[in-house]
Amino acid sequence: MNLFQFLRPVKSAPVARERLQILLEYERRMVSQSALITVLREEILAVVSRHVTIDPERIHVKIDRGDRGSTLAVDVEIPDRPAAAVRR
């Protein structure tokens, strides 16, 4: 540490700016992802329910982001009684 560091004004604003840019990019992605999951979940539920009676609580939708792409995992629990099938 030398004398000149005391004389030079500390510029903290550029640090604030950079931290915000990085953080908000992440948070915006998270928010839009959770909105996407909500929509996917509802639509998948609607499609599956046309054919099979399922418990709306037993459907799980997950997105995993990787470096080279993302995976969408949909887990729907179907009751194993054939009578549960919806007749058309």
Partner 1 sequence: MGKVIVVTSGKGGVGKTTSTAALGAAIARTGQNVAVVDFDVGLRNLDLVMGAERRVVFDLINVVQGVAKLPQALIRDKRIETLYLLPASQTRDKDALTEDGVARVIAELRLRFDWVICDSPAGIERGATLAMRYADEAVIVANPEVSSVRDSDRIIGLLDSKTARAERGERVEKHLLITRYDPGRAARGEMLTIEDVLEILSIPLIGIIPESEEVLRASNIGAPITVCGHDSPPARAYNDAARRLAGEALDMMVPGEKKGFFNRLFGRRAA
* Cβ proximity to partner 1, 26 vs 86, nearer residue: 26
Whether the Cβ atoms of residue 42 and residue 56 lie closer than 8 Å to each other: no
Provide the minimum distance between the beta carbon of 79 and partner 1 in the complex, in angstroms, as a whole number: 34
Verify binding: residue 72, partner 1, rule CB under 8 A.
no
Site for partner 1 in 8-27 (CB under 8 A): 9-14, 16-17, 19-21, 23-24, 27
Whether the Cβ atoms of residue 48 and residue 76 lie closer than 8 Å to each other: yes
Residue 71 to residues 27, 48, 62, 65: CA-CA distances in angstroms?
Answer: 19, 20, 8, 7
Write out the residues near partner 1 by the rule CB under 8 A: 9-14, 16-17, 19-21, 23-24, 27-28, 31, 35
